[in-house]
Amino acid sequence: MVIHGQFVDIRARKIFPAALSILNGLIQSIDEIEEAPQQFILPGFVDAHVHIESSLLAPSEFARMAVTHGTLATISDPHEIANVLGLQGVEYMIENGKQVPFYFNYGAPSCVPATIFETAGAVLSVAEVDALLQKPEILYLSEMMNFPGVIYDDAEVHAKIQSAHRHGKPVDGHAPGLTGDALRKYVSAGISTDHECFTLSEALEKIALGMKILIREGSAARNFDTLIPLMAKHANQLMFCSDDKHPDSLLLGHINQLAARAIGLGYNVFDVLQVACLNPVAHYGMQHGTLQVGESADFIVVDNLQDFNTQQAYVKGMLVAEHGKCLFPSVNVNCLNQFFAQELVGSDLHYMPQTMEPVIVCLDGQLITETLNTPAELLLPENDFLKLVVLNRYNAAPPAIAYIKNFGIKNGAIAGSVAHDSHNIIAVGSSDEQICKAINLVIAAKGALVACNELEEKVLPLPLAGLMSNQEAWVVAEQYTELDNFSKNVLGSNLRAPFMSLSFMALLVIPQLKLSDLGLFNGHKFEFVRKV
């Protein structure tokens, strides 16, 4: 097979008409010719940090949608399913991903459970992490979220890091807002990346210490605009990632969108493509081809170098997508789960606020939150102070209750079994009755995303670990879009991604104020403000 087009040689920083010869899935030759069609041949895009589970899709279905946008590989952290199902969940992700032509490069989850301040469904021991790191499918130790454990020399944390070093595999970081001596201690442990920077100065400090910075643009956390100025001088130390991407936004685009935005801002095309295509392969030692003779024939053909519209995508010489359509079929998705929550009644949600109640302030487009100490008499739905509830999904337990601002729901509730990182049930709404209704719909489905009011209820079932659907990607995207529109247009939420934002309100390792099933938590002090 021979492909003709304008060959984009990122390393040599030149573009020339070429004939690309492929035999047995490998690139045999790249020959410069006099003329070739005005289509551009380049390596496939790589998402350098993503939790596949957050797409609500099984890996095999994620791949079917991603290839249509020119993404051929991911660096995938399976700690969401690991927090629910442990080692069995990680192995499930590996095996499901093997059934499709796509490069899922998994990490060994480093923090299961993520903290001791929440209830998870599993624990991954040092021995289990070490066993995972010995697998060829596991390329790295996933994000070390327990940065206090690194800084204060927690023995188990350091044993996991040392295991990765022993096996010659990099360690991903997760250190939002960490600077100064604490950051230097964190980096000195051998942690090589960070995707949690939310200021430019923070990113520059980490780059100066040798870290690679992942510019993240997901469905909820959006740091592209803040961090893209790094491209001017630090392209060698950057990668693009989505981290968490819901199916409606994955339907529209992926890493190709970040490349296009960077080009639109005037950055050099070779720098942008180095970040989008090559840097992750080098950093993680991926098997994904980078358009070199003798390598696997993994590449895409795009119509231009501004929008990067993918005309064709190839994996190991096989055409896997063409003009927006995936060319390989769905595979059967078996459903594992662990779901034992008990239904609630309205009186279970009775809570007497403090005279000055600490309120979680949700920030649109950010994972961090703020704290607003508010007089109890102002805590009313009409003032956009809503109840937030987290309920243990693994055992019968009383709910944790707090107040939150900026969700904007006027009459109704939303809830889900996707609540990072332990994935207990989380809900927010305008009344106890509606919150209770939404939570009970999640429980009835043994995992779902739900939006409801007095008249209607919308349910997207997630039978795979309470995190993922077993349906085709485009079906799930349509279901999610309907749910998202209902939460905004009917219930009144003014957030760009209400369900994604909701899922992060239980993420204790991101400051400032969050809620776990065990109580209200201060992420700066790493301690409870109030227990259940």
3-state DSSP of 86-129: CHHHHHHHHHHHCCCCCEEEEEECCCCCCCCCCCCCCCCCHHHH
Residue 367: the pLDDT is 86
Q: Assess if CATH 3.20.20.140 describes domain 43-287.
A: yes
Going by the DSSP 8-state scheme, the letter that residue 278 receives in this structure is I
Q: Rounded to 5 degrees, what are φ and ψ at 93?
A: -60, -40
Written as tens digits, the pLDDT of the chain (532 aa) is: 999 999 999 999 999 999 999 999 999 999 999 999 999 999 999 999 999 999 999 999 999 999 999 999 999 999 999 999 999 999 999 999 999 999 999 999 999 998 899 999 999 999 999 999 999 999 999 999 989 899 999 999 999 999 999 999 999 999 999 999 999 999 999 999 999 998 999 999 999 999 999 999 987 678 999 999 999 999 999 999 999 999 999 999 999 999 999 999 999 999 999 999 999 999 999 999 999 999 999 999 999 999 999 999 999 999 999 999 999 999 999 999 999 999 999 899 999 999 999 999 999 988 899 999 999 999 999 999 999 999 999 999 999 999 999 999 999 999 999 999 999 999 999 999 999 999 999 999 999 999 999 999 999 999 999 999 999 999 999 999 999 999 999 999 999 999 999 999 999 988 999 999 999 999 988 899 999 9
What are the residue boundaries of the structural domains of the chain, listed by start? 43-287, 346-531
Whole-angstrom Cα distance, residue 506 to residue 466?
A: 16
pTM, full prediction? 0.94
Residue found by looking up tokens 């740091």 in the block: 223
Residue 170 belongs to what H/E stretch? none
Torsional sign, CA 149, 362, 241, 417: positive
Q: Rounded to 5 degrees, what are φ and ψ at 59?
A: -50, -40
Q: End-to-end alpha-carbon separation of the chain, Å?
A: 64
Whole-angstrom Cα distance, residue 19 to residue 239?
A: 29
Query: In this structure, what token pair is assigned to residue 470?
Result: 């077993």
Answer for the pair 281, 251: CB distance below 8 angstroms, yes or no.
no
Query: In this structure, what token pair is assigned to residue 513?
Result: 């104020």
Query: How many CB atoms are closer than 10 A to CB 514?
Result: 27
Whole-angstrom Cα distance, residue 499 to residue 490?
A: 15
Answer for the pair 400, 389: CB distance below 8 angstroms, yes or no.
yes
Answer for the pair 310, 301: CB distance below 8 angstroms, yes or no.
yes
Position 255, amino acid: I
Residues 6+ apart with CB under 8 A from 525: none
Query: In this structure, what token pair is assigned to residue 324?
Result: 């927006």
pLDDT tens-place string over residues 248-289: 999 999 999 999 999 999 999 999 999 999 999 999 999 999
